[in-house]
Structure 1
Amino acid sequence: MENKSIWRNKDFILLFTGGFVSRIGSGIHNIALVWFVLELTGSGTTTGILLALSTLPAVLIGPFGGLIADRVNRKLLIVGNDFLRGGIVLILGWAIYSGQTSFFLLGFATVLISISGAFFNPAVSAVFPNLVRPENLEKANSLENISMNFTQIIGAAAGGILIGTLGIAGAFFFNGISFILSGISELFIDIPPISQEADTKESFIADFKFGINFLTDRRELLGLFIIFLFLNFLFGGLFSVGLPYIYNQILEINEMLFGLAKSTFPVGAILGSILINYIAIKNNIKFLGKTLTAQSSLLVLMGLPLSYYGLNNLSVMNIYIILTVLLVLLGILNAMANIPIITIFQKMIPDNLRGRVFGLLGTFTQGLTPISMGLMGILFDHISPSILFIVSGVLAVLISYSIIHLSEFDSLNSSMKEPALKQELI
């Protein structure tokens, strides 16, 4: 690996730009998919089922995808899955254009795309440390985070424009082409082979257990993993279910203001991803703990204008502006917390285990999301949103604060200075 600026790193730039293009296509695809299903069926339940189909396969297959990412040529896995998803979406676009589609076909294609993503995502996360030097890894993750949030904004806006001008089929064709272009760019990436001489002879079950054992043997990593899952559980339901409920049922704002509110968090995340590059971080763990604590505190602040006093003394627009400002700040702090977390795991997990551990991370995180959404949906029907945000914020603050003061996490900071050694199966 050459000692060069990240912007002169051909392999990173190719992976970054390919992912940028395909994520814009995916953002357009997601809007077009929901819109088309609503037009086709007029059923919110059916739409919900289709969205579940887009996440559940990734949850169930995530660990297996991570194992594959540690066993096979990662370049082949990345390029092949981009081409596969591109082909599936193009076929789906043609079916819609020719009037030969059905809910079954949409569901089947959605499941295949989700399965493909379960192999693609761990491979990309695992390959990042192979493409950039350790001192550039946090910057690379920062750029990736900027790309993910920026493409959310572009994809949402472009999706509406494309559907209005080219129709649903045109939006699907655009996404299919974006996957193909991403795959073509990735053909020119040089990815080093995985250091796993003995591992390929072992069973997948042994590999899976070894990935879990690696986490359980590293108590500090496991603790960080559990905290990460808990905070995702709290934030996932509050933002996916709680905020739409507040905007629609309590504030009763129009669709345009709701759309604007949805874009504020990724805007903040982009700002946070940029800002973190200009902060001299001496202690990654302390910085992470303080950032997560500050982020969690904002949940408490979000609950205050939604209280009985706030709703009776503030105008709807004042509450909307307060929530908008807090969402931007949350986006900034979320990015500044997520980037160090990802960097810590990438630096401390050996190359031959990285795929399966990231597969486990993705599986548990995505697996808890539907549970969080369902639970918060029930709670918001029976408990004041103000109480839910304040109580969740207090719990999140207590958990985040533990990172700063528990001695178990101190070893992570020093361990990150040394490269993770290959782990052998016993």
Structure 2
Amino acid sequence: MSPGPGADSAPAPLTTHEKISTFSSFRIRNYRIHFLGSSVSNIGTWMQRIAQDWLVHELTGSAAAVGITSALQFLPMLLFGLYGGVLADRLNKRRLLLGTQAAMGLCGLTLAALTFTGVVNVWHVYAVAFVVGLVTVVDNPARQTFVSDMVGPGLLRNAVSLNSANFQSARLIGPAVAGVLISAVGGGWAFLYNGLSFIAPITGLLMMRTAELYPAARAARGKGQLREGLRYVGGRPDLLWLIVLVGFVGMFGYNFPIWLVAFTDTVFHADAGTFGLLNSLMAAGSVAGALLAARRGSRRTRFTVGAAAVFGLALMIVSFAPAFWLFAALLPAIGLITMTFQVTANSTIQIGSDPAMRGRVVSLYMMVFVGGTPIGGPLMGWLTDAVGPRLGMAAGGAICLIAAVSLALVLARIGGLRLEIRLRRGQRGVFLVPRDRKELTATA
């Protein structure tokens, strides 16, 4: 029997005339439950990340080894990421997430057991990181696209921004708590909390009212669905080139575990508590960036490209901060810029995709974003070991800046635009204008 109107009926979707506030998505009961469950789990995720990176550094003394850990965790996304998108488009996302969240909890408990018993070795951490990566192949596209199922298309950008704020808020707490735990009683407790924390999102998924979801039509089982998704993106230059830019930034710019570990140990000669503090400072800026994005309306691709360029330039500036206090003070700005780029890219790609293709498009986006880490992580780790943290971070920023400027020129050419520098009073600055404007002016 289909549900009648009342508590279990779906709320009316947001119309284009309603004003979106920072927390508009909280009016949706299913989203509120999801947000609370994710808050608990995200803290555990950040605790495990910090404990994992510090444990590898303690076992090996190498920034490259930390990069290898990140590479193994994200390698499955590079190899199999598109298949996860096919599953997200084909299967029930809620049931899929119940399985993936349980599997991730077991991975945290495994690391806790290995650490508490004193038998942990670096290859154990590598193995668990790789298993987490395999689960993420399915979890990421399902979790990203399930947001639309919870809130509908009108609130999608707002909900994506709030999810990012949730994740980054946990980054304020998780690293700080993990740093204290590692220094006081050892990293095993951080792994244990992470494993148990997945009880919260699993409970939230079970409590959801399925009649209040806005599920997209599932793709029917069939051959060629992977190729179909690739052809769809290939025929959409607005999506394709944005995904290319995301790939460069993810591969060479999002290597903060490597750089912050190296700066903490070899530049500032500090301990795990300082490492956690630096992560928390960066997270503070990320929360601000996500909340600001939640209030914004639609943004053009050029805004995302500009954010990538500013991000690259900011990395280069921060890398040469001469003192610890200045380095730490600049990290919130890096976090704000990072989240501005990430949220606008994610929401632009989701909103611009056909709902039936959204899982495959998002999986391709995530594949190049986090799947580039198996290449960029070890490479930037090796470079950081070879030339030092400052030059290593500066090189990553320079690559991001060059990629953003190059993409801007490509998009301008595709759109028939050219750069025009105006120095007249009242019109000073650099503008993109139609390529044929100069010829039209001359003819007139």
Q: After TM superposition, is the score higher than 0.5?
A: yes
Instruction: Name 1:395's counterpart in structure 2.
Output: 402
Q: Does the 8 Å contact 1:73/1:194 carry over to 2?
A: no
**Within the alignment, does 1:292 sit opposite 2:308 as a pair?**
yes
**Within the alignment, does 1:349 sit opposite 2:369 as a pair?**
no
Instruction: Name 1:202's counterpart in structure 2.
Output: 222
Q: Which amino acid aligns with 2:373?
A: T
2:331 match: secondary structure: helix
Distance 1:114 1:387 in 2: 28
Q: Does the 8 Å contact 2:76/2:371 carry over to 1?
A: no
CA distance change for structure 1 residues 398 and 35 in 2, over 3 Å: closer, same or farther? closer
Distance 2:367 2:195 in 1: 26
**Within the alignment, does 1:8 sit opposite 2:12 as a pair?**
no
Distance 2:311 2:326 in 1: 16
**Within the alignment, does 1:264 sit opposite 2:281 as a pair?**
yes
CA shift for structure 1 position 60? 2.2
Instruction: Name 2:20's counterpart in structure 1.
Output: none
CA distance change for structure 1 residues 87 and 291 in 2, over 3 Å: closer, same or farther? closer
Q: Does the 8 Å contact 1:403/1:409 carry over to 2?
A: no
Distance 1:142 1:275 in 2: 8
Instruction: Name 1:416's counterpart in structure 2.
Output: none
Structure with greater proportional helix content? 1
CA shift for structure 1 position 217? 0.9
Q: Indicate the RMSD between aligned Cα atoms, in angstroms.
A: 3.5
Cα deviation code 1:232-266 (max 9, x no counterpart): 333135x45456555655x4443355543333322
Q: Does the 8 Å contact 1:83/1:179 carry over to 2?
A: yes
**Within the alignment, does 1:370 sit opposite 2:388 as a pair?**
no
What are the residue-to-residue correspondences of 1:1-400 with 2, within 5 Å?
1-3=10-12, 5-34=24-53, 44=62, 50-90=69-109, 93-94=112-113, 97=116, 107-163=126-182, 168-189=187-208, 190=210, 191-196=213-218, 199-203=219-223, 206-237=224-255, 239-242=256-259, 244-245=261-262, 248-249=265-266, 251-255=267-271, 257-279=274-296, 281=297, 283-302=299-318, 305=320, 316-317=322-323, 320-380=324-384, 381=386, 385=391, 388=395, 391-392=398-399, 394-396=401-403, 398-399=405-406
Q: Which amino acid aligns with 1:222?
A: L
CA shift for structure 1 position 106? 5.3
CA shift for structure 1 position 62? 1.8
Cα deviation code 1:264-295 (max 9, x no counterpart): 3221111111223445x464334334433333
CA shift for structure 1 position 127? 1.3
Same amino acid, percent of matched pairs? 24
Instruction: Name 1:310's counterpart in structure 2.
Output: none
Q: Does the 8 Å contact 1:90/1:173 carry over to 2?
A: yes
Q: Which amino acid aligns with 1:395?
A: I
Q: Does the 8 Å contact 1:53/1:111 carry over to 2?
A: yes
Distance 1:387 1:28 in 2: 27
Cα deviation code 1:385-409 (max 9, x no counterpart): 2973674465145236448845649
Instruction: Name 2:430's counterpart in structure 1.
Output: none
Q: Does the 8 Å contact 1:302/1:326 carry over to 2?
A: yes
Q: Does the 8 Å contact 2:290/2:339 carry over to 1?
A: yes
Q: Which amino acid aligns with 2:363?
A: G
Of residues 373-382 and 151-160 in structure 1, the stretch that sits farther from structure 2 once superposed is: 373-382
Q: Does the 8 Å contact 1:227/1:399 carry over to 2?
A: no
CA distance change for structure 1 residues 218 and 101 in 2, over 3 Å: closer, same or farther? same
Q: Which amino acid aligns with 1:208?
A: L
CA distance change for structure 1 residues 352 and 185 in 2, over 3 Å: closer, same or farther? same
TM-score (norm 1): 0.78
Q: Does the 8 Å contact 2:251/2:373 carry over to 1?
A: yes
CA distance change for structure 1 residues 148 and 294 in 2, over 3 Å: closer, same or farther? same
TM-score (norm 2): 0.75
Distance 1:268 1:329 in 2: 6
Distance 2:148 2:53 in 1: 36
Of residues 338-347 and 94-103 in structure 1, the stretch that sits farther from structure 2 once superposed is: 94-103
The unaligned stretches of length 5 or more in structure 2 are: 1-9, 15-23, 418-444
CA distance change for structure 1 residues 187 and 223 in 2, over 3 Å: closer, same or farther? same
